[in-house]
Amino acid sequence: MDIQTLQMRPFSPWLERELRARGQVHRWFEVEQPDHFLAEHALHIQVVVTGGEIGIRPELMARLPSLRMVAINGVGFDKIDLDECRRRGVRVTTTPHVLTDDVADLAVGLTIALLRGIPGADRFVREGLWTTGDRPLAHKVSGRRFGILGLGQIGSAIALRMAAFGTVGYGDVIRKQVPYEYFDSPLQLAEWCDVLILATAANATTRGVIGSAVLDALGPSGYLVNVARGSLVDQAELIKALASDRIAGAALDVFEDEPNVPMALRESGKVILTPHVASATTETRENMARAVLANFDAFLAGLPLPGGIA
């Protein structure tokens, strides 16, 4: 089959080489004249390969009449119009399971770094300030109550790790058979916990779920950690809560408008920022690439898609 693929963002050299071995690949992120490109190639593109953080815009998908599959290098699919894909018979795949450990590990690392003030301590030494005296005391991690919003694969892996440090509670759409306390709403979970860790899916019902009320429930000694999606948090309200000491701090790997991060967050000493790197290890990105190709090859062969969600 002569497959033409639209590649939405850069990937590893190995994955890009393997995609080219399977057919013609067009690099959308390098296209300078989109209308001219689409006039020439849109009719022939059958596969889109993209990242979960960018997906494919509905207006672009609408201009690809021969599209048959969207392969996501990641687990997030909030940037894909699944209803439209189902209507058109466009298959959608993700790379489940392979990034769970890395995302959970980063959630733990961010939590420890946030409470213990590790980035500030690093700067303290590098800037030669140790000779001037000691840094202010940080805060204990062990013995805390950790609330996890979203107990899917990643949330469950975070819960397993955080249970070694303290007590775990969770919020989800349904109660699960797990040894953690269940809370009916994000507000109740925030009232109970010391550290609120976000691991839930991003969709219309969870957009802005962490707003003013939840942040106030978390309180001036509470911390927010987000390794899920930036859309879960009302970013403007978070900035206000940090500036007015309504919460103690936040660690964020994801943002509302990536890669644009507000200066108020970048300049805050109460915030740890990472550039959406939860799955960014050599090992996991290799496994994700293999999962993308497994979905691609299954599609070409007319076989069930291992990571199919639509």
> What distances in angstroms separate CA 49 from CA 28, 36, 299, one per listed residue?
10, 21, 13
Asked whether residue 310 is assigned to any structural domain, the reply reads no
How many other C-beta atoms lie within 10 A of the C-beta of residue 293? 18
Query: Is 307 within a domain?
Result: no
Residues 106, 90 within the same domain: no
**3-class DSSP state of 168:** strand
Same-domain check for residues 197 and 210 = yes
147 & 219 share domain? yes
253 and 125 part of one domain: yes
Residues 166 and 244 in one domain: yes
CA distance 277 to 296: 24
Residues 91 and 167 in one domain: no
Q: Could you tell me where the beta strands, DSSP code E, fall in the chain? A: 3-7, 23-27, 45-51, 69-73, 91-93, 145-149, 167-171, 181-183, 195-198, 223-226, 249-252, 271-273
Q: Is residue 278 in some structural domain?
A: no
Residue 155 shares a structural domain with residue 175: yes
Q: Domain for residue 214, yes or no?
A: yes
**Which parts of the chain have pLDDT scores under 50?**
none
CA distance 78 to 82: 9
Number of H helices, E strands in the chain: 12, 12
pLDDT value at residue 78: 92
φ, ψ of residue 136 in degrees (nearest 5): -60, 150
Whether residue 246 is contained in a domain is answered as yes
Q: What is the distance between the alpha carbons of residues 21 and 7, in angstroms, rounded to a whole number?
A: 14
Residues with Cβ within 8 Å of residue 16, at least 6 apart in sequence: 7, 10, 25
The pLDDT, as a whole number, for residue 2 is 80
19 is a domain residue = yes
Q: Which residues are catalytic?
A: 229, 258, 276
309: in domain: no
Q: Note whether 135 and 260 are same-domain residues.
A: yes
Q: How many domains is the chain built from?
A: 2
Locus of tokens 């190639």: 41
Q: Are residues 58 and 111 in the same domain?
A: no
Residues 172 and 144 in one domain: yes
The verdict on 107 and 82 lying in the same domain is no
**Which pLDDT score, from 0 to 100, does residue 80 have?**
96
Cβ atoms 48, 67 nearer than 8 A: yes
Q: What is residue 109's predicted lDDT score, i.e. its pLDDT?
A: 98
CATH number of the domain that residue 24 is part of: 3.40.50.720
Residues 159 and 203 in one domain: yes
12 lies in which domain range? Answer: 3-98+283-301
Residue 308 lies in a domain: no
**Which of 207, 153, 151 is CA-nearest to residue 183?**
151
